């Protein structure tokens, strides 16, 4: 039987394990996967912005540039690799908000203006390039929550309102003129903020984040199926740290907060984030086997509070900052090709 291991976090790229032998989790050695630099973001560099995708276009709105909160909206065209500014968000400038897309409309809400936690909620119509305020978020005002949509409804869960949270609220845009919120049964895992969420096969996966106990303590992995009865909608998957007696998780170094996630070609990916150090490693999740595999690290600088979106099975990571206390806001965007061999000269 394999000995349990104690992880001591040293850098964003590797960890030393104390056990009968030393196991390497150095993702710098991984050569499967290639990152390509795309057209730099045209607005102010920023961290903790909201991103969502509709068709072949990604959207970025709000965020923090190191000195002020923002409310400008930018659209990225993946087919032609260019940015275009759109109608400014009319709500309070903020960071650490969350959002999702339903059809041709994007939604954002919650966040912080630097002094207050927020619970207002807004709809962006991509066709009309207009914003409309909707029913306030049904839960407490908070920041660093996660959002996603499934089958025409949106969801917001987790976050921080003075307490770490794990409640989940469902938004139906077709109820009344302003939509309506309904609380669902809370997640079965730990309370948290700064998690990631991704959707596959009409189920939402919530993982990573930080809690009251430690910035690096959350290793549970939860999946939400909104079609199941209350009390049965949440299922826990395998942990994302080395806790089993099997070999599949020996090199896991996935625990972190303020990372990004996206889905491509039946796999999910987590990259960047922080857990003491700032990370740039990348992990691929196989839905069929419930296991993770290390891929080529993000080729920009390590970062936290970045954005990501998936556009027609293409994955992009962008923006962020070099540390949680840094005022250096980043402007680069890179596309990930998970099945290509690493080529350092292509990311130029």
Radius of gyration of the chain (CA): 19
Distance of alpha carbon 47 from alpha carbon 37, whole angstroms: 18
The confidence score (pLDDT) of residue 152 equals 98
Contact 272, 280 (CB under 8 A): yes
Q: Rounded to two decimals, what is the model's pTM?
A: 0.90
The residue ranges of every structural domain in the chain are 28-341
Low-confidence ranges of the chain (pLDDT < 50): 1-28
**How far apart, in whole angstroms, are the C-alpha atoms of residue 87 and residue 273?**
29
307-342: string of b/e by CB count within 10 Å (b at 16+)? bbbbbeebbbbbbbbbbeebeebbebbbbbbbeeeb
d(CA 257, CA 279) in angstroms, rounded, equals 10
Query: What is the topology classification, in CATH, of domain 28-341?
Result: Neuraminidase (2.120.10)
337 contact partners, CB below 8 Å, separation of at least 6: 33, 34, 35, 36
- 286 near 270, Cβ under 8 Å? no
Predicted pLDDT of residue 30: 60
């Amino acid at each position: 039987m394999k000995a349990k291991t104690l992880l001591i976090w040293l850098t964003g790229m590797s960890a030393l394990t104390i056990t009968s032998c030393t196991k390497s989790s150095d993702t710098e050695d991984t050569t499967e996967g290639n990152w390509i630099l795309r057209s730099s973001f045209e607005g102010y560099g920023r961290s903790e912005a909201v991103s969502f995708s509709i068709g072949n276009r990604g959207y970025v709105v709000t965020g923090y540039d190191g000195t002020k909160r923002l409310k400008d909206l930018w659209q990225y065209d993946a087919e032609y690799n260019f940015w275009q500014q759109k109608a400014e968000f009319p709500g309070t400038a903020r960071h650490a908000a969350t959002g999702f897309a339903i059809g041709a409309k994007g939604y954002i809400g919650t966040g912080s203006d630097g002094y207050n936690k927020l619970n207002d909620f807004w709809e962006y119509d991509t066709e009309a390039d207009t914003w409309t305020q909707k029913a306030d978020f049904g839960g407490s005002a908070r920041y660093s929550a996660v959002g996603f949509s499934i089958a025409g409804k949106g969801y917001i869960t987790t976050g921080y309102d003075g307490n770490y949270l794990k409640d989940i609220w469902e938004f139906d845009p077709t109820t009344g003129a302003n939509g309506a919120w309904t609380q669902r049964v809370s997640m079965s895992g730990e309370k948290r903020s700064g998690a990631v969420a991704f959707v596959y096969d009409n189920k939402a996966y919530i993982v990573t984040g930080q809690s009251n106990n430690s910035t690096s303590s959350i290793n549970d992995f939860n999946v939400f199926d909104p079609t199941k009865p209350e009390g049965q909608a949440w299922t826990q998957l395998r942990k994302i740290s080395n806790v089993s007696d099997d070999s599949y998780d020996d090199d896991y170094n996935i625990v972190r907060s303020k990372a990004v996630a996206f889905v491509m070609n039946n796999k999910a990916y987590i990259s960047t984030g922080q857990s003491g150090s700032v990370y740039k490693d990348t992990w691929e999740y196989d839905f069929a086997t419930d296991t993770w595999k290390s891929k080529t690290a993000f080729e920009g600088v390590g970062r936290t509070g970045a954005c990501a979106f998936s556009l027609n099975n293409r994955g992009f990571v962008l923006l962020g900052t070099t540390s949680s206390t840094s005022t250096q806001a980043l402007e680069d965007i890179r596309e990930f090709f998970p099945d290509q061999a690493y080529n350092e000269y292509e990311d130029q």
